[in-house]
Amino acid sequence: MFKSTMPENGRIVHLQFDGEAITAFDGDNLAAALLRAGKVQFRTAAKNDPRGPYCMMGVCFECLVEIDGRPNQQACQMTVHDGMIIQRQNAPDSASKASG
Amino acid sequence: MANQHFQIVIIGAGPAGMAAALTTTKAGLETIVIDDQKDSGGQVYRNLQANQETSPAYLGQSYYDGAKLAQSFADCGAVYRPDCTVWQITDMHEVALVSRGKAELITADYIIIATGAIERPMPVKGWTLPGVMSVGGAQTMLKQAALGADNAVFVGSGPLLYLTAWQYIKAGLAVRAVIDITSAQQWRSAIPFAPLALLQPDMLAMGRKWLGDIRRNTEVINHVSAVEIIGQSQAQAVSCTLSSGDKIDIDSNHIFLHQGVVPNVNLTMATALAHQWDYQAHCWRPVIDVTGKSSDEQIYIAGDGGGIGGAKAAAIAGRLAASAIVARCGMPRFLAQLYYKLRHLHYLSIRPFLDRLYFPPAHFRLAQTDETIICRCEAVSKADVNSALASGASGPNQLKAFCRAGMGRCQGRSCGLIVQEMIASHTGQSMAETGYYRLRPPVKPITLAELASLEGPWPD
Amino acid sequence: MTEITKSNFDAIIAGGGLIGLAIGYGLSRRGFSVLLLDAEDTALRAARGNFGLVWVQGKGAYFPPYADWTMRSSELWPKLAGELQENGGPALGLHQEGGLSICLSEAEMQQRYDKLDHLRAHQNGRFKFEMLDRTALKEVMPGIGPKVVGAAYCPHDGHVNPLYLMRALQNGLNRNGGVCLANAAVRSIDKIGNSIRVGTAKGDFECQRIVLAAGLANAELAPMVGLQQSLKPQKGQIIVTEKLDQQMALPSLLLRQTDEGGLMIGDSHEDTGFETSVRPNIVSGIADRALATLPALADVGVVRSWAALRVMSKDGYPIYDQSEAMPGAFAISCHSGVTLSAAHAFDLAGYIAEASLGQELDGFSQRRFNV
């Protein structure tokens, strides 16, 4: 359970995550805001390969989401804004792996 | 449109970059500092200025020690470009960056690369599950968003792990357990270097405080030899094997992993600077002289990116590199350089002890089960890598060609060291002989539109 | 690590790129014992920089033997892919459903047409192509931008994953008992009685056939067997994007989508010697042209780029030679290692096995430059 360690205050902003309404505070880091709302899975790397934020500093590229229609945004590098529409990003159907 | 030119281009606004800027601006050199985060401070002083308003005590005094540096940096007169991503440094000392969707080239007389460190990967089964994060990630959440998790389990070893677990406890979060992978043998190999570590008694005292508070506030499981994370759509539990052979399962949705930090060499390697394998710290580092000058006369490296030393060492390294450059610009800085060199040595005196004590164990540098993901970006498993090795891949680049490990967005930051370890183990070559991925720009992804937006003129 | 227990092989191949691997595989499937010698993991390695086209259109427009040879290889490709996969190699992602050369101006269209028409003229109906105007092209590539004028479509063209091809050839070679030694660049080649002795950092070996397939390094190796190969590096830069849903059904000369979903975008032809730096202005131009072709790619991320050196002869055509001073010694180089893999694995390996290149490949000798 993600939990705030300081009293929560600030202007509330409204976001959408995969169609679900969630709230955050103005100026929040997007990845943190989603985690605080209980959303741990941000995408899939392939079928049955769920992923979420890992490093929180922009080097692992796990926290990729689609923001306001733009894909491959690193949530941990983004700040929320009111009305932000976020979609989970799932691996393209064409993704296939050759086995050897 | 002409490219901008600066005498000094500093990449990274952590302690090393900020400190370097203080020295170069004081000497009157035109300085620009480029950083990919929205605020200065790098990772160690992440969100420092905002946190000073509320000052959560749990972040600890060393964090707030960075406040003076951050304030001085804000006042020093350097051009500061946050939220900019550097994607290449060319052989003509042009720094290619992207800012707000547009690419730019900035030319420099001298470049100081201060891009810091990243975590050493810790490939355990299930480490890609949502809910599993690096300890650094957990700490950044705390600094950036005052967000933590209840019932978290910390797994691994190293000062950052103990510090973060301590910060969690001080923040009032219930830490479920700390699973320590340090072996008794590592203590024995580190003890001879303890006298050097005594040169930094404050660091040792801090470490003892962290460990003491951790022991009093949570379950500590020592000498763990194997770890697996269990779960389907997210982490549900962590299973660890004790030195006795017994297994313990601990339920948790939040598993934080850590086995040390290593220099972030992606930019320095893509810039074709010389690197060497550091046997003591078990990682790659750029080849630099005592002032931080790289194999390129015009490029210096300061801070953890040149070798792990921590925040204070990084700030001194920034000062040292900057002073060397200032001297080369006709303003000698003999005494300052001497002072910085001595301080730098001082701050590094604890490293031999720490590097040995928290040396990553072989079975945690290599994955232990076939299904463990090695390359996270391309979902390449240990079995896949072994198959490529069996097909005859004898080096990291051939292996990359055979199975795609290292081809994803992170450019090997998460898998490079693991792959190197596997190849060395398979071929019997040393880590140095095995080598690393050949890194190329862009060191972070940029879009086609951003790339296409670059304008001339182009120097021939 | 491969432990070498023997020092005598039927054939030694110097060079572990696409040429060496294809010929090595081809000889091994004919029962030859093969030793393949490769340089360091970080050597120049044109093969690892390859774009992956199995391309026919335009090749040999002004040099019929090359057009014939290319067409032959293209026809043999399915056999190669099938055989390699049967041998347990990875799926190669071979598609031979045609390819496009996209034109952004009328001048480009005209140039392209002239070249392909010329090629058609000497191919006796074997070579087919069609110029597609904008409307026709839109049916195949709905996303083309306003600057696109049309394209040349050739049904013989295709593409494949060049890295998996290397792995598959390596796998096939291993399966047939071939031995590969890394970090074992050739230092000396001498005639010893009826055999040839090859000296390397990892020891000396003897063989009946030595095939020099070391790319640009062939220029230094060829004289060791009494041959000459005048080769120059020609730099090409490529960028690769992250994976996407299908954007392109057919490959084009400068833009193709891999089976995994990433787009490969090229390219450049630069004369800068032996350096392989990625230059921002060049890749910017490459990105620009890609966006003119498919504007919807604007927000797609570039995750990798590289520069590789094409192995270029004076006229751009392959150089195939056999030594008279040292019978059994061959020097082979070209810059179309993917397209010609099938011809190399089957036909060329056959000639080398017989120790005679034969008339078909006469026109490819270095001698053609001594006119």
User: Looking at the domain assignment, is residue B443 inside a domain?
Assistant: no
What confidence tens digit (pLDDT) does each residue in B296-355 have?
A: 999 999 999 999 999 999 999 999 999 999 999 999 989 999 999 999 999 999 999 999
Provide the pLDDT for residue B3.
81
User: Looking at the domain assignment, is residue B266 inside a domain?
Assistant: yes
User: Looking at the domain assignment, is residue B281 inside a domain?
Assistant: yes
What confidence tens digit (pLDDT) does each residue in A44-78 have?
A: 998 789 999 999 999 999 999 999 998 889 999 99
> How many angstroms separate the CA atoms of B232 and B401, rounded?
30
Q: What mean pLDDT, rounded, does chain A reach?
A: 90
High-pLDDT (> 90) share of chain C, %: 87
Mean pLDDT on B245-274: 97
User: How many domains does chain C fold into?
Assistant: 3
Q: Are residues B169 and B251 in the same domain?
A: yes
Alpha-carbon distance C90 to nearest alpha carbon in chain A (angstroms): 4
Q: Are residues B131 and B251 in the same domain?
A: yes
Residue of A nearest to B128 (CA): A51
Q: Are residues C237 and C304 in the same domain?
A: yes
Domain CATH for C278: 3.30.9.10
Q: Which residues of C touch A49 (CB under 8 A)?
A: none
> How many angstroms separate the CA atoms of B88 and B268, rounded?
10
Q: Are residues C257 and C212 in the same domain?
A: no
Q: Which residues of B touch A54 (CB under 8 A)?
A: 128, 132-134, 137, 376
User: Looking at the domain assignment, is residue C76 inside a domain?
Assistant: no
Residue of B nearest to C290 (CA): B448
Provide the pLDDT for residue B358.
96
Q: Are residues C214 and C332 in the same domain?
A: yes
Distance (Å) of CA C280 to CA A35, B109, B412, B454: 38, 19, 22, 8
Q: In this predicted structure, which of B168-177, B415-424, C132-141, C354-363 has the lowest mean pLDDT?
A: C354-363
User: Looking at the domain assignment, is residue B152 inside a domain?
Assistant: yes
Q: How far, in whole angstroms, is CA B422 from its chain's centroid?
A: 21
Q: Are residues B252 and B127 in the same domain?
A: yes
Reported confidence tier of residue C48, pLDDT bands at 50, 70, 90: confident
User: Looking at the domain assignment, is residue C124 inside a domain?
Assistant: yes
Alpha-carbon distance C297 to nearest alpha carbon in chain B (angstroms): 7
Q: What mean pLDDT, rounded, does chain C reach?
A: 94
Whether C330 contacts C211, CB under 8 Å = yes
Mean pLDDT on C125-149: 96
Contacting residues for C77 by C-beta, under 8 A, at least 6 apart: C54, C94, C96, C158, C160, C341, C342
What confidence tens digit (pLDDT) does each residue in C108-119 have?
A: 999 999 999 999
DSSP chain A: -EEESS---S-EEEEEETTEEEEEETT-BHHHHHHHTT----EESSTT-EE---SSSSSS---EEEETTEEEEEGGG-B--TT-EEEEB---TT------
**Number of B–C residue contacts, CB under 8 Å:** 116
Q: Which residues of A touch C246 (CB under 8 A)?
A: 94
Alpha-carbon distance C187 to nearest alpha carbon in chain A (angstroms): 34
User: Looking at the domain assignment, is residue B207 inside a domain?
Assistant: yes
Q: Are residues C222 and C320 in the same domain?
A: yes
Burial classification of residue B208, based on how many CB atoms lie within 10 Å of its CB (0-12 exposed, 13-18 middle, 19 or more buried): exposed
**Nearest CB partner across the interface for B454, out of C163, C284, C290:** C284
Radius of gyration of chain C (CA): 21
What confidence tens digit (pLDDT) does each residue in B48-70 have?
A: 999 998 889 999 999 999 999 99
Provide the pLDDT for residue C3.
59
> How many angstroms separate the CA atoms of C41 and B282, rounded?
21
Q: Which residues pair with B95 in a beta bridge?
A: B89, B106
Q: Are residues B185 and B125 in the same domain?
A: yes
Distance (Å) of CA B99 to CA B96, B457, C87, C354: 10, 19, 50, 61
Q: In this predicted structure, which of B16-30, B101-115, B375-389, C32-46 has the lowest mean pLDDT?
A: C32-46
User: Looking at the domain assignment, is residue B357 inside a domain?
Assistant: no
Kindly determine whether residue B144 and residue A29, on different chains, have CB atoms separated by under 8 Å: yes
Which residue matches tokens 């945690």?
B364
Contacting residues for B437 by C-beta, under 8 A, at least 6 apart: B396, B397, B400, B406, B411, B412, B416, B419
Kindly determine whether residue A100 and residue C167, on different chains, have CB atoms separated by under 8 Å: yes
User: Looking at the domain assignment, is residue C66 inside a domain?
Assistant: no
Q: Are residues C193 and C225 in the same domain?
A: yes
Tell me: pLDDT of C260 over 90. Answer: no
Kindly determine whether residue B448 and residue C306, on different chains, have CB atoms separated by under 8 Å: no
Alpha-carbon distance A10 to nearest alpha carbon in chain C (angstroms): 33
Reported confidence tier of residue B15, pLDDT bands at 50, 70, 90: very high
**Nearest CB partner across the interface for C164, out of A71, A91, A98:** A98
Provide the pLDDT for residue C2.
52
- Residue ranges of A 11-70 with Cβ closer than 8 A to chain B: 28-29, 32-33, 35-36, 40-42, 45-46, 49-62
Structure tokens at A72: 């491959």
Whether B389 contacts B400, CB under 8 Å = no
Could you tell me which residue, C152 or A90, shows the higher pLDDT? C152
Alpha-carbon distance A45 to nearest alpha carbon in chain B (angstroms): 7
For C187, half-sphere exposure in the C-beta direction (CA atoms, 13 angstrom radius) is 9
Range of the domain at B211: 121-259
Tell me: pLDDT of C262 over 90. Answer: yes
State the amino acid at position B320 in one-letter form: L
> How many angstroms separate the CA atoms of B274 and C251, rounded?
38
User: Looking at the domain assignment, is residue B344 inside a domain?
Assistant: no
Provide the pLDDT for residue C358.
86
User: Looking at the domain assignment, is residue C168 inside a domain?
Assistant: yes
Angle in degrees, 0-180, between the axes of helices C162-175 and B396-403, rounded to the nearest 10: 100
**Nearest CB partner across the interface for C243, out of A92, A98, A99:** A92
Q: Are residues C296 and C190 in the same domain?
A: no
Interchain CB contact of C93 with A (< 8 Å): yes
Q: Are residues C250 and C301 in the same domain?
A: yes
> How many angstroms separate the CA atoms of B40 and C173, rounded?
55
Find the largest Cα–Cα distance for chain A. Answer: 54
What confidence tens digit (pLDDT) does each residue in C297-340 have?
A: 999 999 999 999 999 999 999 999 999 999 999 999 999 999 99
High-pLDDT (> 70) share of chain C, %: 99
Interchain CB contact of C42 with B (< 8 Å): yes
User: Looking at the domain assignment, is residue B450 inside a domain?
Assistant: no
Tell which of B124, B135, B140 to mutate to test the A interface (max A CBs under 10 Å).
B140
Q: Are residues C177 and C291 in the same domain?
A: no
Q: Are residues B430 and B400 in the same domain?
A: yes
Q: Are residues B271 and B253 in the same domain?
A: no
Mean pLDDT on C209-231: 96
Q: Are residues C271 and C208 in the same domain?
A: no
Alpha-carbon distance B447 to nearest alpha carbon in chain C (angstroms): 4
What CATH number belongs to A12-88? 3.10.20.440
Q: Are residues B70 and B97 in the same domain?
A: yes
Kindly determine whether residue A98 and residue C93, on different chains, have CB atoms separated by under 8 Å: yes
Range of the domain at C15: 8-53+163-230+315-370
Interchain CB contact of A97 with C (< 8 Å): yes
Structure tokens at B417: 């060291």
Provide the pLDDT for residue A9.
83
- How many Cβ atoms are within 10 Å of B355's Cβ, its own excluded? 20
Interchain CB contact of C163 with A (< 8 Å): no
Sign (positive or negative) of CA dihedral B189, B195, B196, B201: positive
Interchain CB contact of B335 with C (< 8 Å): no
- How many Cβ atoms are within 10 Å of B457's Cβ, its own excluded? 10
Which residue matches tokens 């190699």?
C89
> How many angstroms separate the CA atoms of B91 and C280, rounded?
11
- Residue ranges of C 53-112 with Cβ closer than 8 A to chain B: none
Structure tokens at B56: 């959560």
User: Looking at the domain assignment, is residue C339 inside a domain?
Assistant: yes
Domain CATH for B244: 3.50.50.60
User: How many domains does chain B fold into?
Assistant: 3
| End residue of a domain, out of C90, C124, C155 | C155
Whether C31 contacts C226, CB under 8 Å = no
Residue of C nearest to A66 (CA): C299
Q: Are residues C237 and C285 in the same domain?
A: yes
Tell me: pLDDT of A98 over 60. Answer: no
Please give the ipTM for the structure prediction.
0.95
**Nearest CB partner across the interface for C48, out of B397, B446, B456:** B397
